[in-house]
Amino acid sequence: MPKIINKDFFKIVLSLVIFLLALIMPTNFKIVLVVIAYILISYEIYKEAFNNLKEGIIFDENLLMIIATLGAFIIKSFEEAFMVMFLFEVGEYLADLAVSKSKKSLLDLLDLKKDTITKLENKKEITIPLTEAKVGDKFIVKPGERIALDGIVIKGSSFVDTSSLTGESVPKKIEEAENVLSGYINRTSPLIIKATTTSTTSTTARIMQLLESTDNEKSKTETYLTKFAKVYTPIIVLLALFIGVGLSVITKDYTTWIYRALVFLVTACPCALVISIPLAYFCGIGSASRKGILIKGSKELDALNEIKYIFLDKTGTLTKGNFVVTKVKSISMEKPDFIKYVASAETNSLHPIALAIKDYYKGDVLPVKNFKEISGKGLSCSIDNKDFLVGNKKLISDEGIEVNDIEEMGTIIYVSIDKEFAGYLVIADEMRKSAKSISSLKDNFTEIIILSGDKTSNVEKIANELKLKSFYGELLPQDKINYVKKYQEKGKCMFVGDGINDAPVIKIADLGVAMIKSSDASLETSDIVLMKDDLSALQEAFILAKKTKKKIIENITFALTVKFVVLLLALLGISTIWMAVFADVGVTFLVILNVLTLFIKKY
């Protein structure tokens, strides 16, 4: 919980006690005590107004409150002068408390940092500062501890809590040889991990850098509010002067019109707007982070509502970016025997395609002789006195073996045995399950487009599976940039990618989105990071942006409507200083409660 009892709390309580004591005192003592209570409660407001004046900021809500309460003293409304400042400070205190609570929820969610690490050295456990850890260091993480660096598990298996990064509440099972990210919490058994990052390059460090580098640029709504306040405040002051001085001179009724001018000033304070709008953005961003969506700032959250075109990279974004065997076709023998021979042939190769084939087979392999890798084509070897060729079509054709073109989505691995075509395997990049969610976005945007460096035929098949009409393949990074720039002439564009080659286009897009396992360059240039590598989070990001905008519109409409009505009543002499205080402090509190539902409700 945020700290409720602080210096502001004591100030409010002490000033209230002095004021209540004043109410039972004789007149002279009463005035002195009310003035003391007033000074105590309003000191910070005067200080802030003075500091603003030094910076050239003349008209703000602090000045309005000061003028209103000094005017109340002039017409001898001492109690009302105090209560205006008192209720204003109570409202500010409650607003700060709400912001602190929201901020603490967000910081708790992103409390990823760990300062030390338990390093294993010569079979001994040594606690060292995290900053001294190096890539390749082995460290142990015990149950209940947070993983400090990204790495590979070299011993042990356990369930880990990934909620700090992904928002996923169900623990994830981690086995040996699996990758883990800093920020995960180990839950059940000790893990020995080999570090693949340092304290400055880990996932935790990159997230913190993203948070710290949040753009200071305000959203359009906040910018309009600042411009509005610069015009609104002096107009209100001038109107109040006209009511309090001008109409007093005209009617000769100074007390009535000065009082109405004071009611007018208190009512007009823009606190509800000044506090609730930034808080709305903060709660929207905090709620997004709970769902595994890291948004850099209010400007980026606002921009989600303006996107017309979504561009998607294929490899590593729509697909997982790892090769898997999707089809095996044997002509000359049974399929199990065929894949056993092919996996045996690939035993000595470290090529990603070879690794995918070996991972697919997972059985005992046969002895291999005369192994030779042929650059850019494949390999040759002998198994069971049979000569094998495994590779692309050119490898087979160069040996005079006739084979037809095979139309499959992915990379075709041709196999010949003793100069005869024996079959083929299809190696493809596995599509993410969450990629299907892209189809549900189609109706909300002008167009969704795939941009990829892969073969156009492969991109087309992905597009057809996702029911997307627009796609472009065989693109260089500059080609992707050109397409996005072309569409930017028609509307705001979002690009979602992951590789280092996507960093330039992520940067030039109106909104750049990266997956958490993206390259450092992509993460650094992105505006939004999907912490779970889950594309369905895009839909949630758009929903949250829409809800945040709705809350802001609701608050602006409600606050201005109430103020307008009370201002009108003030001119007619119907509203009192207490109604004015409600129009300011009361409305502020209500709009804050409305905004906080962004953190509470699950959209």
Q: How far is CA 364 from CA 174, 355, 358, in A?
A: 25, 15, 10
Q: How far apart are CA 476 and CA 489, in angstroms?
A: 21
Q: How far apart are CA 426 and CA 411, in angstroms?
A: 6
Specify whether 313 is catalytic: yes
Element (H, E) at 581: helix 577-581
Amino acid identity of 113? K
Q: How far apart are CA 80 and CA 38, in angstroms?
A: 10
Q: Where does 270-365 have alpha helices with state H?
A: 271-290, 298-303, 335-345, 352-361
Here the tokens at position 564 are 């307008």
Q: How far apart are CA 486 and CA 478, in angstroms?
A: 12
Closest by CA position to 384, among listed 455, 428, 333: 333
Helix, strand, coil in percent for the chain, rounding step 5: 55, 20, 25
Residue found by looking up tokens 């906080």 in the block? 596
Element (H, E) at 579: helix 577-581
Count the alpha carbons within 13 Å of 169 in the hemisphere toward its beta carbon. Answer: 2
Q: How far apart are CA 308 and CA 131, in angstroms?
A: 44
Residue 123: partners with Cβ closer than 8 Å, 6 or more residues away:
none
Q: At what angle do helices 220-241 and 271-290 cross, to 10 degrees?
A: 160
Catalytic one among 313, 429, 454, 502?
313
How many residues in total does the chain contain? Answer: 603
Q: Where does 150-252 have alpha helices with state H?
A: 163-166, 203-212, 220-241, 247-251
Here the tokens at position 199 are 């304290």
Going by the DSSP 8-state scheme, the letter that residue 286 receives in this structure is H
What are the φ and ψ backbone dihedral angles of 522, each rounded to 5 degrees? -65, -40
As a whole number of angstroms, the longest Cα–Cα distance in the chain is 118
Here the tokens at position 124 are 């001994």
Q: How far apart are CA 578 and CA 572, in angstroms?
A: 16
What is the separation, in whole angstroms, between the first and last Cα of the chain?
24
How far, rounded to the nearest angstrom, does the alpha carbon of residue 101 sit from its chain's CA centroid? Answer: 19
Residue found by looking up tokens 């709705």 in the block? 550
Q: How far apart are CA 262 and CA 571, in angstroms?
A: 11
Q: How far apart are CA 337 and CA 341, in angstroms?
A: 6
Q: How far is CA 176 from CA 117, 151, 186, 574, in A?
A: 20, 11, 14, 76
User: Angle CA(113)–CA(118)–CA(119) in degrees, nearest 5?
Assistant: 120
3-state secondary structure 26-40: CHHHHHHHHHHHHHH
Q: Which residues are catalytic?
A: 313
